[in-house]
Amino acid sequence: MAPISTPQTPFGRVLTAMITPFTADGALDLDGAQRLAVHLVDAGNDGLIVNGTTGESPTTTDAEKNDLVRAVLEAVGDRAHVVTGIGTNDTRHTLELAREAERTGAHGLLAVTPYYSKPSQEGLYRHFTAIADATGLPVMLYDIPGRSGVPIETETLVRLAEHPRIVANKDAKGDLGRASWAIVRSGLAWYSGDDMLNLPLLSVGAVGFVSVVGHVVTPDLRAMLEAHLDGDVQKATEIHQKLLPVFTGMFRTQGVMTTKGALNLQGLPAGPLRLPLVELSAEETEQLKRDLAAGGLQL
């Protein structure tokens, strides 16, 4: 049974976009994934995203994706929303992943904008609508034009929000003005997909975060969110400012690389990366340690 949700927070409030642990030889580490999922939920996450780009989804097979969903559900499925990434730039493949995710028991779907092919807004509308029609699961859109090449324009978000199963948007567009209008006009549950903008997006109507830095500072993110909800602007701002070195450090280079580096330093399940991603250099690791220490985290 999935944890309690509301129309305003269909996937919870604090979600971490979970890395996919691998064994030393590069195989899927399901035991490690379960241990990491439990650790993240114990730390304060009420939702987990698996099989997103932070989970190295471009390099995992469909079978591995299903196995990962099943393992995480077994570990935390009654304590957290388990949402799985199913987005690709091939609509037919995406629909296959969505249907399999439903059969496996996922609580929701994360659908990224099709990348590289740069479809029109009408193409985006039809792609996302097809996903929502394919299963009975709620859908979170993922708008990240810096990687996909195409934004989901506000008018398209408004149209998509009319579908009863398209309930949320993960916003990595980095535009607070457009987010403000889209939140008001679409009525979608809005989740920050850019850690540096977690608090600013809350201030214009977001309900929570889909975070990468949540791997290492979930308690701080939870405290910042609760301070904001309580109307304690000063406390929320202080926490945001304390975390600035963490936000910076975790994205000095590719975020999966730094996240796995940080988790490996902490002795938590992570393991190596699959090419084309590579492990941090010794210099990058030392810089990451300094950045995290500046944010209050000692490794």
Give the list of residues 6+ apart from residue 189 with CB closer than 8 angstroms, or none.
7, 8, 9, 10, 11, 167, 168, 169, 207
Is 148 within a domain? yes
Which two three-digit tokens encode residue 35? 């241990």
Confidence band (pLDDT; 50, 70, 90) for 299? confident
Query: What pLDDT score does 5 carry?
Result: 62
Say if CB 45 and CB 208 are below 8 A apart. Answer: no
Count of domains forming the chain = 1
Residue 244 inside a domain? The answer is no
Q: Is residue 43 in some structural domain?
A: yes
Asked if the structure places residue 299 within a domain, the reply is no
Q: Per-residue confidence at 205, pLDDT binned at 50, 70, 90?
A: very high
- 238 domain residue, yes or no: no
Amino acid at 67: D
CATH of the domain at 46: 3.20.20.70
Rounded to two decimals, what is the model's pTM? 0.96
> Does the residue 252 lie in any domain?
no
Dump the DSSP string for 224-235: HHHHHHTT-HHH
Per-residue pLDDT tens over the stretch 50-59 = 999 999 999 9
CB contact at 8 A, 54 and 212? yes
Residues marked as binding?
54, 210
Whether 180 and 205 have beta carbons less than 8 Å apart is answered as yes
Q: Give per-residue pLDDT as tens, 224-266.
A: 999 999 999 999 999 999 999 999 999 999 999 999 999 999 9
Query: With contact defined as beta carbons under 8 Å apart, do 127 and 119 qualify?
Result: yes
CA dist 153 and 84 (Å) reads: 24
Q: Is the pLDDT of residue 2 over 80?
A: no
What pLDDT sits at residue 298?
Answer: 79
Structural domain boundaries enclosing 97: 14-232
Contact 218, 14 (CB under 8 A): yes
Annotated binding residues for pyruvate, as ranges?
A: 54, 210
- pLDDT of 191 > 90? The answer is yes
Residue-wise pLDDT for 68-117, tens only, equals: 999 999 999 889 999 999 999 999 999 999 999 999 999 999 999 999 99
Would 298 be classed as within a structural domain? no
Percent of the chain exceeding pLDDT 70 equals 98
Whole-number Å distance between alpha carbons of 297 and 4: 31
User: Which alpha helices (H) appear in the chain, and where do they start and end?
Assistant: 30-43, 62-76, 91-104, 121-134, 145-148, 154-160, 176-186, 198-203, 214-229, 233-242, 244-249, 255-266, 282-294
pLDDT of residue 4: 59
pLDDT tens track for 18-27: 999 999 999 9
- The predicted-structure confidence for 35-45, as pLDDT tens digits, reads as follows 999 999 999 99
User: How is residue 137 annotated by DSSP?
Assistant: S
Say what the pLDDT of residue 7 is: 60
**What mean pLDDT is reported for the chain?**
96
Catalytic positions: 142, 170
57 in a domain, yes or no? Answer: yes
Side chain identity at residue 271, one-letter code:
G
